Each structure stands twice: as structure tokens, then as C-alpha cells.
């Protein structure tokens, strides 16, 4: 008789802050939900042509941040985020994306709700996108 054991997939990614582990002094890994959150954030902040040999990956969100703020730009930003996540992050299912302009801080509050494929745990990410130049 064979017993099947369901195993949760282990997602891992490097912590791009490059904070060394206090004991081993090696780069710390992000695992599980934290790795997926980091991946979503990286995809949103990636411009086209930022990645060598994979120049087609990017959201174009930073280009939209330099436009005059309006509800139309908020919709464009939402569509760009939705497109990049649906095309290049197969480990998640996007549930909802909200983009709101924050006039006081001259940026956009972005709330992304998604669930991990085969896990159905809801995950929410809050980002603040603003111009940096």
C-alpha cells in the first residue's frame, strides 16, 4: 500500500536587500509567502529592458508615475500591474488590485490581493509608488 503525502511547495528567493545572516554571514533567503511578495514587488518595479536577455519583462509602472496624476493614469497603472502579474507570476492568482492617488504625498497607494495557487490563502500587499527622480 502506498500513502500519498501532500507537500506544500517551497518558494524561495534571495533577499535583494542583501542583509547578511547574523551567524553565517551568508545572504538570507526569503521563503514561502515572503518570496512571492518580493517577486510581485520586483515585477511591478521592473522596467522594460532592465533584465538582460529578458527585456520583454516589465510593467512600465515607473513610466506612468511621471504622467500628470488623474483617474485615467490610475487605471493605466492598475492595468499594467495586472498584466505583468498575470503574464509572469504563474504561482499566484490575482484577486483584486486597487490604485489610489495620494495627492499629499504625490504618489499612488497600491493594494494587491492575491492567492497562492493550490493554497487559497489570501495575501495582501500594500505598496506606495512614487517618482524617484
Q: What is the CATH number of the domain that holds 33?
A: 3.10.450.40
98 lies in some domain: yes
Please indicate, yes or no, if residue 8 is contained in any of the structural domains. Answer: no
Whether 9 maps to a domain, the answer reads: no
pLDDT of residue 121: 83
Q: What is the DSSP string of 90-124?
A: TTEEEEEEEEEEETTTTEEEEEEEEEETTT--EEE
pLDDT tens, per residue, the chain with 133 residues: 666 555 665 777 777 778 888 888 888 888 888 889 999 999 999 888 888 898 888 898 988 988 888 888 999 999 999 999 999 999 899 999 999 998 888 889 999 999 988 888 899 999 999 887 6
The reply to whether 63 falls in a domain is yes
Q: Which residues pair with 100 in a beta bridge?
A: 109
Per-residue pLDDT, 90: 92
Domains in the chain: how many in total? 1
Answer for the pair 123, 36: CB distance below 8 angstroms, yes or no. Answer: yes
* 80 within domain boundaries: yes
Contact between 90 and 84 (Cβ < 8 Å): no
**What range does the domain containing 44 cover?**
25-130
Amino acid at each position: 500500500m502506498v500513502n500519498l503525502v501532500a507537500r506544500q511547495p517551497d518558494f524561495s528567493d534571495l533577499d535583494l536587500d542583501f542583509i547578511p545572516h547574523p551567524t553565517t554571514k551568508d545572504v538570507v533567503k526569503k521563503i514561502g509567502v515572503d518570496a512571492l511578495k518580493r517577486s510581485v514587488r520586483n515585477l511591478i518595479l521592473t522596467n522594460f529592458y532592465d533584465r538582460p536577455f529578458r527585456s520583454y519583462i516589465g510593467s512600465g509602472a515607473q513610466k506612468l508615475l511621471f504622467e500628470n496624476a488623474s483617474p485615467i493614469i490610475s487605471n493605466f497603472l492598475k492595468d499594467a500591474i495586472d498584466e505583468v502579474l498575470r503574464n509572469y507570476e504563474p504561482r499566484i492568482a490575482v484577486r483584486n488590485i486597487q490604485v489610489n492617488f495620494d495627492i499629499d504625498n504625490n504618489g499612488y497607494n497600491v493594494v494587491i490581493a492575491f492567492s497562492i495557487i493550490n493554497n487559497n490563502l489570501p495575501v495582501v500587499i500594500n505598496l506606495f509608488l512614487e517618482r524617484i527622480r
